[in-house]
Amino acid sequence: MPELFFKTPMESKHPEEKGKVYDLIILGGGPAGLSAALYAGRARLDTLLIEKNLPGGQISITDWVENYPGFPEGITGLDLAKKFEDHARKFGTRIVLEEVVDVDLKSEPKIIKTSQGEYRAHAIILATGNEPRKLNIPGEEKFKGKGVSYCATCDGPFFKDKDIVIVGCGNSGVQEGLYLLRFVKSITFVERLQCHNAEKILMERALKEPKMKFYYEHELVSIDGKDKVESVTAINLKTKEKMVIPVQGVFFYVGLVPKTEFLRGKVDCDPYCYVICNENSCTSVPGVFAAGDVRMKDVKQIVTAVAEGAIAATMALKYLEGKKEM
C-alpha cells in the first residue's frame, strides 16, 4: 500500500494547531457517523467527528430498541448509542461537540467551520441525520417546553397523570406512546391517514391498552391555552367538523427533515433537501460522502445507517489512497 496521509491515534494533534489537516472529518454522531468513525479508525485514518449534541443521534433519545441485530432482549437507545460511541473512540476517533455553521467542500483541503473554530480535512462524510418535523400550527411554538414536546424519553416524567395527545400514528408515535404509558393518564392519537402506519407488532400492543384511543382522518389545527397547554383542536378531514380535546401535553411524531441547512448550494440535494449520492455513498463533490438518514433513501433504520457509515468510510479510504497516488 502506498504511503497515505494516515497517522496512528497517538500521533493525532490538537485540531487548532496551525496547519493541522485531518484525513477525514465526519459530520454527525448518529449510528451512521459512529459506524464510519469505527471503520475509519480501524483503517488508521486520522479522524475527527463533529456532533452538535450528544453522540448517538436520534437513538440516544429513543426509549427502547428491539430490532437491532445482536440484542434479542432489546436495549435502551441510550445504551446502544454509548456502545457505538465507545467502539468508535477505541480506534482513535476524536469527538468534539460543536455546531457546524458553514463548509467549503470544494477547497483543498476541505474546510469545516463550527461555532467554535475551523477544521480541515482531505475527505468529508456527511452524516448529520435528521430532526423532528414541525407542523407550525398555532400554539406549537408558543407552548414548546410548556406542554409541547418532540421527545418522550426527554420529557415523559413531566406529564405524570396528565392527558396527552400524540400527533402521528407511525412507528415512532406508537412506540413512544407505549413508553409514555408509564407516566400519563391517557393518550389520544391524532392521525391524518385512514389508519395507522406503524408496524403490526407495535399496534398489537397499543390496541390492548385501555388508556389509548385513536382518531384517524383527523388533523391537529391548533394548540390552545393561556400559559400552558390546556386543549387542542382537531378537524375531521372527511366531515370538516372540529372537536376540542382537553389535554395538558402534545407530542409530535409527524416525520423527520434532514439537517442540511448549512449544505445548501454546497452539494446536490433532492427537492426535500436530502443529500443525493450513489450506492457507494459518493455525492456530487469528489471526496465528500453521505451516510445515514441525511441521504435520499426509502429505508431509514439503525441497521441501514450503520451499513452506510461503513460504506462511506471505505469509499473515503479509497479516495484518499487514490489522491495520494496522483
pLDDT at 17: 55
Residue-wise pLDDT tens digits, 85-108? 999 999 999 999 999 999 999 999
Our CA dihedral for 65, 81, 280, 46, rounded to 10 degrees, sits at: -170
- Show the cell assigned to 291: 451516510
Catalytic residues: 151, 154-155
Prediction pTM value: 0.81
Radius of gyration of the chain, Cα coordinates, nearest whole angstrom: 22
Q: In which residue ranges of the chain is pLDDT below 70? A: 1-19, 325-326
The count of C-alpha atoms lying within 13 angstroms of the C-alpha of 156, restricted to the half-sphere facing its C-beta, is: 19
Measuring CA to CA, which residue among 26, 105, 1 is closest to residue 312? 26
Strands 118-126 and 22-27: parallel
| Domains assigned to the chain | 9-132+256-325 (3.50.50.60), 148-252 (3.50.50.60)
- Convert the pLDDT of each residue in 269-291 to its tens digit: 999 999 999 999 999 999 999 99
